[in-house]
Chains A and B, each alone.
Chain A
Amino acid sequence: MNFRNLISFILLILILGLFQILFLKNLALFGIAFCFVYLVGILSIPLQIRAVPLLLISFGIGLIIDVFYDTLGLNAAAATFLAFLRPYWLKILRPNGGYDDSTQPTLQEMGIGWFISYSLPLIFAFCLIFFIADQWGTGTFIGVVNKSLFSSIFTLVLAIIVQLLFFKRRRGI
């Protein structure tokens, strides 16, 4: 990752974080579909990043969101879990020739089918941990799965829209 990519990554995280904090806090479609659009930031980190910095970055981002939501530890725990699963899931999804060195796992570079099969299970895992921790001892398991399923679909739709609107398509080969 060169310096320019780093700057644009930090900007992306800042914008997504602000959007999450200011607009999505109390948004829940039909009371069950929440949106965690800041996960796009974690999901689009370049492929060659090592596991340790990825875990630390995700934990940090989750913690910052938590401070604004007054749910200290909730987003951090779920985001760390997502970051832990990401390398293994990427290994499973590896195409025949392996990944290009400088690719980013984004919609534009990998195509919509790959992106959905990459991000939907990860977002679902995030939501599952998030709602299990949130409803600990109060909600039912069916309720948790229900919320997780619809939240991950809603988040995925918003993630695709964000990438279509704001991510640059790479020119040439």
Chain B
Amino acid sequence: MLRILQFLYSLRSFLLFVLLEVLAIWLLVANNSPQGAAFFNSSTSMVGSILETQSDVRDFFSLAEANEALVGENSRLMEQLKSLKTDPDSVELTLDSALSSQFEFLGARVISNSLRYAQNHLTLNKGSEQGVKPGMGIFNESGVVGRVKSVSKNYSVGISLLNNDLLISSIIKSTGDFGSINWDGKNSQTAKLLYVPRHVNAQVGDTIVTSGYSAVFPRNINIGVISNVIQSGDPNYLDIEVALTTDFSKVSYVYLVENTEIEELDSLYQQSEITNEF
């Protein structure tokens, strides 16, 4: 017995090495599922405050650009608002509940963002106290950015669209065909549109927008433009490359969207035994 213990003691550094590696790999696997709750990450308040200070400094230099984008967004919204306003001499109808607002929006600032790894994340400066919940969609004025993964009191961590784990339900705007956007880990400006059958007439230059099927994003938020359609490879599906409209190296202010009816939808799916991945 003593000899076994002595033997183990002589191997202690190797055993500790194996133990630490297993621990690290376990952390890696446990934290990479898109739905999983994370233990520590950049939404921890101390880490978050350091990252926020850093982004304070960095954002100062991009204020002009952020302003320009916001002004553009504002003018677009004003135009829409004009067409929605009722004239004083017209009759107003109360809307059916089917048409009442299903989505709620929030604004937030990105305080940390990565784009060079296979699994990229971003940290936002709003948390559960400001109403952010796991599962909310993240987008900015030019397109989809990602999805909230976990939330602390004042910060939240999102999975970027540049992450192998994230699939976003989307359609080709001109034809209405359905597919899933997924990043292939190569270039931060392009992604792949998956599960589009071969008979679909997808053209270079067609716009890809969110489908609204997945209950995360509302319909018609920009994702990208088709840059290449390849016929070869898979016998069932087209190989479509999409140039993303969002410039992920410059994302600074984003909107968060929440589907207020997601619980009702989820319970309906459960009732009818449909498993919805998103």
Query: For residue A56, which residues in chain B have a CB less than 8 angstroms away from its CB?
Result: 16, 20
Is the beta-carbon distance between A68 and B114 smaller than 8 angstroms? Answer: no
Is A80 an interface residue, CB under 8 A from the partner?
Answer: yes
Is the beta-carbon distance between B54 and A22 smaller than 8 angstroms? Answer: yes
Pair count A-B, CB < 8 A: 104
Interface size on B, as a range, is 35 or more
187-240 of chain B: CB within 8 A of chain A:
none
Which of the residues A59, A84, A87, A134 comes within 8 Å of B118, measured between beta carbons? A134
How many angstroms from the CA of A139 to the CA of B41 in the assembled complex? 25
User: If A76-B20, A77-B21, A138-B164 touch, does A26 touch B13 (CB 8 Å cutoff)?
Assistant: no
CB nearest neighbor in B for A70: B121
Query: For residue A115, which residues in chain B have a CB less than 8 angstroms away from its CB?
Result: none
Which of the residues A26, A66, A84 comes within 8 Å of B249, measured between beta carbons? A26
The contact string, 1 if C-beta is below 8 Å from chain A, for chain B 109-139, is: 0001111111101010000000000000000
How many angstroms from the CA of A165 to the CA of B150 in the assembled complex? 41
Is B81 an interface residue, CB under 8 A from the partner?
Answer: no
69-87 of chain A: CB within 8 A of chain B:
69-74, 76-77, 80-81, 83-84, 87
User: If A52-B13, A139-B185 touch, does A73 touch B116 (CB 8 Å cutoff)?
Assistant: no
User: If A25-B114, A31-B116, A55-B16 touch, does A73 touch B42 (CB 8 Å cutoff)?
Assistant: no
How many angstroms from the CA of A73 to the CA of B26 in the assembled complex? 8
How many angstroms from the CA of A70 to the CA of B25 in the assembled complex? 14
How many angstroms from the CA of A169 to the CA of B38 in the assembled complex? 44
Query: For residue B185, which residues in chain A have a CB less than 8 angstroms away from its CB?
Result: 135, 138-139
Query: For residue A22, which residues in chain B have a CB less than 8 angstroms away from its CB?
Result: 54
Write the residues of chain B forming the contact surface with A, with a CB cutoff of 8 angstroms.
12-14, 16-17, 20-21, 23-29, 31, 38-42, 44, 47, 50-51, 54, 112-119, 121, 123, 157, 164, 184-185, 249
7 contacts between A and B (CB under 8 A): A62-B24, A68-B112, A70-B112, A71-B117, A72-B27, A84-B13, A87-B13
